[in-house]
Structure 1
Amino acid sequence: MHQDGKFIIIDFSSSMSLENQSKPTLKIAEENVAYVDPKFFNPTLKDIKYDKSSDIYSLGVIFWEISSGRPPFSDQPELKDKRFKNFSYS
């Protein structure tokens, strides 16, 4: 909980300030791939920036997991492997 009483969800092992506006430079753990906005896994897109929509996607994944009891696409391991392989670390 933040000092002002608001709750904050943190740590996808690749968090960064939105003001940074750069591609991720931290390594992402393979188990956290499901929480990362899919646009960062598209090797044809260049100069993609983190923004609030990326956080909304990650929050949606958390809500999915809370409501269903499992991560999204957990029945499709090949999708996770493909996304992890295409992740760009710049």
Structure 2
Amino acid sequence: MTNSRYPSVYSSGYPTLSAQEFIAQGTSAAAVLSIAKFLASDRGKPANPRAASKLRAVAFEVADLTGVRLQALPRAVNDNRSRRQYRRAA
């Protein structure tokens, strides 16, 4: 059931706060990103990828506004070694 008064952004079923509202209540960008991960997984029954992607964008906006750098990948992008090499016996 779609209502033309509301933009399609809100059709995810969850009301989403803006970046300024998250900052005003003291929520960090990492916490917003954690909520987005929860909504994208099956633990947030049912999984809601549309709301998760919106919250992920809001999390990066919160990080930009507060000057906090979100952690990137845990290893370098150009690290092409397989993980088995670390466990081999000498």
| TM-score band w.r.t. shorter chain | under 0.3
The structure with higher relative contact order (CA 8 Å, sep 6+) is 1
Question: Which of the pair is proportionally richer in helix?
Answer: 2
Q: Which has the larger radius of gyration?
A: 2
TM superposition score normalised by structure 1 = 0.27
